[in-house]
């Protein structure tokens, strides 16, 4: 998730509305098309060479999942979109990766956009846009690049595990979204760990100098995750409430289940958000406590030795007539007095609990 960029939503300034332009940065990826075509009994898995190979699946009776990796191949995507009769604005949204999670209903299909979140090797959150088209008997999915969270789903289709092979395309879409939402849990788990690491660091006093910068960055990260996840609740809610003929009644229960998960994730995010705001407060009290300690050391040292130095100064004066100077035991008496003062001071500071 590059920090600086506010993706302009759809086009360069002055660009014609309706242009299909990829706005992301992964323009060197290869195009990769895969297709799963299955019924209760059979399952075919294909690596497609070109988009045209996918055209036949539109009217089969079997359920088909066509997964497109590589949003920079706008021509192929337009070709595919035209075959499946997608609206030009849908095509634009697919390749413009600054979409907010949303659902748009068209006559023959549903268009769902959401964000796939995961941590990369450097512990940075990656937010990849995934778009789905749910047709009568097919699901099209579009991703920026290869590598996703759907491997378990692929396995289940291949090996006919679970219900997926017994259900239609609407259940397939559920399975895919569910896989994405499941990953949200691991993302926020890591966020939670980070917050607790900060807490521990602050409480133990072992903070780096850039702790407040790190906290600010974490705050930003949480705000971004929030933005990726929160609108999805509304999307799923609309699927659940809506009476699209593309979603069967018996599948709705499953979408309700995703909705429950999203509420759980959202609540966790909001708790984290509240926790992180109080981190700064805590850091502030830590700093103040430290300063307090510094001041105490200074005050104790100064309060003890400044008066003693004054007394020594008195008897360093060169007046001709200072009676004490002649007296033989003066020096020792003075030492005694000084030690008494010293101990008195110590006692005073101890009573004040500064020592």
Are the beta carbons of 307 and 341 closer than 8 angstroms?
Answer: yes
CB 185, min distance to a copy of itself, A: 4
CA neighbor of 134 nearest in space, from 75, 97, 174: 174
Q: Which stretch binds a copy of itself (CB under 8 A): 22-30, 39-47, 121-129, 146-154?
A: 146-154
* 153 Rama class: left (phi>0) / alpha (psi -120 to 50) / beta: alpha
Instruction: Based on the shown chain and the rule CB under 8 A, indicate whether residue 151 belongs to the binding site for a copy of itself.
Output: yes
Q: Applying CB under 8 A, does 261 fall inside the site for a copy of itself?
A: yes
Report the distance separating Cα 128 and Cα 282, nearest Å: 34
Tell me if residue 117 falls in helix, strand or coil. strand
Dihedral angle of Cα 274, 276, 281, 287, to the nearest 10 degrees: 170
Using CB atoms within 10 A of its CB, is residue 133 exposed (0-12), middle (13-18) or buried (19+)? buried
Residue 271 engages a copy of itself in binding (rule: CB under 8 A): yes
Q: How far is the CB of 354 from a copy of itself (least distance, A)?
A: 7
Q: Are strands 138-143 and 63-69 parallel, antiparallel or unpaired?
A: parallel
Q: Which residue number, 39 or 292, has a Cβ lying nearer to a copy of itself?
A: 292
Q: Closest by alpha carbon to 156, among 166, 143, 141?
A: 166
Question: Is residue 343 involved in binding a copy of itself (CB under 8 A)?
Answer: no
User: Mask of contacts with a copy of itself, 4-23, x by CB under 8 A?
Assistant: xxxxxxxx-xxxxxxx----
163 makes contact with a copy of itself (CB under 8 A)? yes
Q: How many positions of this chain bind a copy of itself (CB under 8 A)?
A: 121
2 contributes a contact to a copy of itself by CB under 8 A:
no
Q: Quick check: 127 binds a copy of itself (CB under 8 A)?
A: no
Nearer to a copy of itself, 238 or 261 (CB): 261
Out of 44, 50, 124, 299, point to the residue binding a copy of itself (CB under 8 A): 299
Tokens of 95: 């390749």
Measured from the CB of residue 37, what is the shortest distance to a copy of itself in angstroms?
21
**Closest CB to a copy of itself among 146 and 155?**
155
- Which residue is it, tokens 């706005």? 23
Q: Which of residues 207-226 bind a copy of itself (CB under 8 A)?
A: 209-210, 212-213, 216, 219-220, 223-224
Question: Looking at residue 22, what DSSP letter applies?
Answer: -
Q: How far apart are CA 90 and CA 275, in angstroms?
A: 39
Which one of residues 290, 339, 347, 350 is an interface residue with a copy of itself (CB under 8 A)?
290
At its nearest, how many Å lie between a copy of itself and the CB of residue 70? 24
Is the CB of 44 or the CB of 278 nearer to a copy of itself? 278
Binding track over 28-67 against a copy of itself, x by CB under 8 A: ----------------------------------------
Judged by CB under 8 A, the chain residues 86 through 125 that form the site for a copy of itself are 87, 89, 98-100, 102, 104
Residue 319 CB-density burial (10 A; 0-12 exposed, 13-18 middle, 19+ buried): exposed
**Residue with smaller CB distance to a copy of itself, 284 or 343:** 284
Alpha helices, H only, 58-208:
74-83, 88-95, 151-159, 169-204
Nearer to a copy of itself, 55 or 349 (CB): 349
Cβ–Cβ < 8 Å for 265, 236:
no
């Amino acid at each position: 998730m590059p920090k600086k960029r506010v993706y302009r939503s759809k086009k360069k300034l002055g660009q014609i509305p309706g242009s299909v332009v990829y706005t992301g940065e992964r323009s060197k990826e290869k195009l990769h098309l895969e297709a799963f075509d299955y019924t209760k009994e059979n399952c075919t898995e294909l690596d497609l060479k070109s988009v045209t190979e996918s055209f036949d699946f539109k009217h089969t009776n079997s359920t088909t999942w066509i997964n497109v990796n590589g949003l920079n191949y706008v021509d192929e995507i337009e070709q595919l979109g035209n075959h499946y009769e997608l609206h030009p604005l849908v095509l634009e949204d697919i390749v413009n990766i600054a979409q907010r999670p949303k659902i748009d209903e068209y006559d023959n299909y549903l268009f769902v956009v959401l964000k796939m979140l995961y941590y990369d090797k450097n512990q940075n959150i990656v937010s990849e846009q995934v778009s789905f088209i749910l047709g009568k008997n097919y699901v099209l999915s579009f991703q920026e690049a290869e590598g996703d969270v759907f491997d378990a789903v692929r396995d289940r289709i291949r090996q006919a595990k679970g219900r997926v092979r017994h259900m239609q395309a609407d259940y397939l879409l559920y399975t895919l979204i569910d896989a994405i939402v499941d990953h949200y849990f691991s993302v926020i788990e890591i966020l939670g760990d980070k917050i607790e690491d900060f807490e521990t660091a602050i409480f133990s006093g072992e903070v780096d100098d850039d702790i407040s910068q790190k906290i600010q960055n974490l705050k930003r990260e949480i705000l971004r995750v929030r933005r990726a996840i929160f609108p999805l609740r509304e999307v799923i809610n609309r699927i659940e409430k809506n009476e699209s003929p593309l979603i069967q009644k018996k599948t709705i229960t499953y979408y309700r289940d995703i909705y429950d998960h999203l509420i759980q994730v959202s609540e966790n995010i909001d708790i984290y958000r509240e926790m992180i705001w109080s981190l700064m407060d805590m850091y502030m009290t830590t700093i103040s406590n430290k300063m307090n300690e510094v001041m105490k050391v200074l005050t104790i040292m100064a309060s003890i030795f400044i008066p003693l130095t004054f007394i020594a100064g008195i008897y360093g004066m060169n007046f001709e007539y200072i009676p004490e100077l002649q007296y033989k035991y003066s020096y020792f008496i003075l030492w005694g007095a000084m030690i008494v003062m010293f101990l008195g001071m110590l006692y005073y500071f101890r009573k004040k609990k500064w020592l």
